Amino acid sequence: MLFFKAKILDRGNRYTDALRQLYLVLKVAQIQKDTLTIIQAKTGIGWVQIEMEQYPEALRWLESLHTSSNNSYYHGYGALYSNLASTYNALGKTALAYQIH
């Protein structure tokens, strides 16, 4: 439920509130060792940073996602790769955007 509230705030352009909510989601997920929610929260934080045009910060969050050796978490989560590609493009690193898989 916390994650969905963050998405509503994001879609309402309330980025600071969305980030605050996503940091809370991340903290709870880390305590619970909930890998999927950790990935979703970090992807969400990265997306909000993209919306705020804070691309270097977005890239730090998105690149920090690999918290599990189980690659199935990442292969089925297209938002991660889409957000990475958008961030690389915004930073003028188009070649890196094409190397994402």
- Three-state SS string over the chain comes to CHHHHHHHHHHCCCHHHHHHHHHHHHHHHHHHCCHHHHHHHHHHHHHHHHHCCCHHHHHHHHHCCCCCCCCHHHHCCHHHHHHHHHHHHHCCCHHHHHCCC
Confirm if 41 and 3 have CB atoms less than 8 A apart. Answer: yes
Which pLDDT band holds residue 5 (cuts at 50, 70, 90)? confident
Between CA 36 and CA 80 the distance in angstroms is 12
pLDDT in tens, 41-64: 999 999 999 999 999 999 999 888
Average model confidence (pLDDT) across the chain: 84
Between CA 78 and CA 28 the distance in angstroms is 23
Angle CA 101–78–15, to nearest 5: 120
Superfamily of structural domain 2-98: Tetratricopeptide repeat domain (1.25.40.10)
Average pLDDT of span 6-25: 87
More confident residue, 70 or 26: 26
Q: What are the boundaries of each domain within the chain?
A: 2-98
- pTM score of the predicted model: 0.83
Average pLDDT of span 32-42: 89
Report the percent of the chain where pLDDT is more than 90. Answer: 42
